[in-house]
Each structure stands twice: as C-alpha cells, then as structure tokens.
Amino acid sequence: MKNSNKPIEHSLAVDELEGLLAQVQDQQRLLQQQLDYEHHAMLGLAKRLWVQQEQERAYFARELHDDIGQQLIALRAQIDALQNPQLEQIQEGLLHLIESTRNLSRIMHPTILFDLGLERALTWLNRQLLEPANIQLAIHYDLSITLPNAVNLLLFRIAQETFVNSVKHAQASEIDLTISETSQGIVLKIKDDGIGFNVQSIEFGIGLQSLKDRALACGASLDIHSKPNCGCEVTLLLPYQQLSEFGDL
C-alpha cells in the first residue's frame, strides 16, 4: 500500500510546487508592472520639471531684456545727451553691458530657435561660443520632419552644454555636429578633435551626468565616448514615439 501511495504523493508535491511557482511569477509580473508605472511617472515628472525650468528661463530672459535692458538703453541715451567727453569710457562700458545683457537673454531663452529653427540657432550658438575660442564647427542637418519646439530646445541645450565643455576642457580645433533620422529615432551626434578624457574621472563626471539626466528626463538616451588624446563623441538618441510626449513651450 505504501508503494502505491508514492505516485500520488509525488503528484501532489509537483502540483504544489507548480502552484507556488505560478504565484511567484504572478508577483514578479505585478512588481514589474509597478516598477514600470513608477519609472514612467518619474520620467513624466522629470520632463514636466524640465519644461517648467525652461518656462522660468524664458520669463527671466524677458525680464532681463525688457526691464534691465531698456533701463540700460535709457541710461545710455541720457549720457549721450550730456555730450561730455569725460563720459566716453562710461558710454563704451554701457554699450558692452547692453550687448552682454542681450546675449545673456538669448542664451537663457533662444528666441532665434523658435523664430528661425534649430539649424540657424546652432549657427548663432557657434558665433557666441565657438568662434571666439577659434573652434571651427561643421553642421550636418539632415531632417525631413518638423520637430516640436520642445525637442528642438532639448537638442539645442545638449549642443550648448557640449560646446561649453569643449571650450573649457577639450582644447579642440574642430567640432562636427550631425542631426539625422535613423530607423530608431532622431540622432544628435557631436564629435570634437580635442585632447579627450577619462569618462570615469570625477572631474568630468558631474557635467556628463547633467547631460545624461537631461536626456533621460525627455525619454532619450545619451552616450559619451572619449579617452585621452582621442577626442570626445556625444550621441543622443530620441525615439520617434517620444516626439508626441513633449508638451509645448
């Protein structure tokens, strides 16, 4: 009799194990769904915070241009009216301050980007950042679709921060910037011929992480490849499905 019960007991044990395994798999699926939901929610929050930050930049840029800029222009007019040769140095200083205020306003909120498009805005950024540092920029713009303003602004900001890093650290003489369409999405690639660096180094880690965080917040991926004496290449990939996720600015 004992021998005849063994197959039944074995069958029950297998059924119990299969039941436990099914419960574990169900719990894993539920946990994964929860993680996916929380990840999506965090990305949505990060994107909204980024859009809010850009809206605040636009507000301060307008204040800088409309309020402080106009006050400086009015002050310059008053000094001009005095026609005093001793004030010429102050006039020159005011002219420089007015131009600096305008440039700061445009950097904070690049209206040229929304008025004339990304390619023209990158050309303007080149004049502001790279030409004064004697760095030549080659732009290859190959898009057949019109991007939302927020996407253009994302690409502009990534290029802006990369240019600043190149000017400060790279000792580069040439930069190639390419914006293109691939089967996976929109690609921004920026490559310089500078001295390169160790991507894992603490000195560059914070700046690089800032770039990656900005990309991640917008549903994009960002890869940075560099090593000493071999330049640097920054590649951003924005999947097509993310284009519709951007709100307006």
Q: What is the 3-state secondary structure (H, E, C) of 23-36?
A: HHHHHHHHHHHHHH
What pLDDT shows up at residue 72?
Answer: 73
Phi, then psi, of 21 in degrees rounded to 5: -60, -40
Each residue's pLDDT tens digit, 89-127: 777 777 778 777 777 777 777 888 989 999 999 999 999
47 or 234: which carries more pLDDT confidence? 234
**DSSP secondary structure string, 79-101?**
HHHHT-GGGHHHHHHHHHHHHHH
Assess contact for 206 and 38: CB atoms under 8 A: no
Q: What's the chain's average pLDDT?
A: 81
**Which value, in Å, is the radius of gyration of the alpha carbons in the chain?**
28
Examine the pLDDT at 161 and tell me if it is beyond 70: yes
Each residue's pLDDT tens digit, 33-79: 776 565 555 556 566 666 667 777 777 767 666 667 677 777 777 77
The most confident of the ranges 65-74, 185-194, 195-204 is: 185-194
Residue 50's CB: how many other CB atoms inside 10 A? 19
Assess contact for 234 and 190: CB atoms under 8 A: yes
Where is average pLDDT lowest: 39-43, 141-145, 220-224? 39-43
Own/partner long-range contacts of 113-119 (Cβ < 8 Å, ≥24 apart): 113/149, 113/152, 113/153, 113/156, 114/149, 114/152, 114/249, 117/152, 118/147, 118/152, 118/155, 118/156, 118/179
Burial status of residue 75 (CB atoms within 10 A of its CB: 0-12, 13-18, 19 or more): middle
- Residue-range domain boundaries for the chain: 1-109, 117-249
Examine the pLDDT at 7 and tell me if it is beyond 70: no
Classify domain 117-249 by CATH architecture. 2-Layer Sandwich (3.30)
Q: CA 51 to CA 196: how far, in whole Å?
A: 32
**DSSP secondary structure string, 176-194?**
EEEEEE-SSEEEEEEEE-S
What pLDDT shows up at residue 28?
Answer: 79
Examine the pLDDT at 192 and tell me if it is beyond 90: yes
204 residue type, one letter: F
What pLDDT shows up at residue 5?
Answer: 60
What pLDDT shows up at residue 66?
Answer: 67
Torsion of CA 71, 73, 79, 80, to 10 degrees: -160
Local confidence band at 180 (pLDDT 50, 70, 90 cut-offs): very high
What pLDDT shows up at residue 211?
Answer: 83
Kind plus residue range of the DSSP H or E element containing 211:
helix 202-217
Look at phi and psi of residue 231 and say left if phi exceeds 0, alpha if psi is from -120 to 50, else beta: left
Helix, strand or coil, per DSSP, at residue 168: helix
What pLDDT shows up at residue 6?
Answer: 60
Nearest to 240 by CA among 178, 153, 181: 181
What pLDDT shows up at residue 218?
Answer: 82
Residue with tokens 């099914």: 22
Local confidence band at 25 (pLDDT 50, 70, 90 cut-offs): confident
* Full-model pTM: 0.68
Examine the pLDDT at 187 and tell me if it is beyond 60: yes
What pLDDT shows up at residue 198?
Answer: 83
Task: Write a three-state SS string for 138-150.
Answer: EEEEECCCCCCHH
Examine the pLDDT at 202 and tell me if it is beyond 80: no
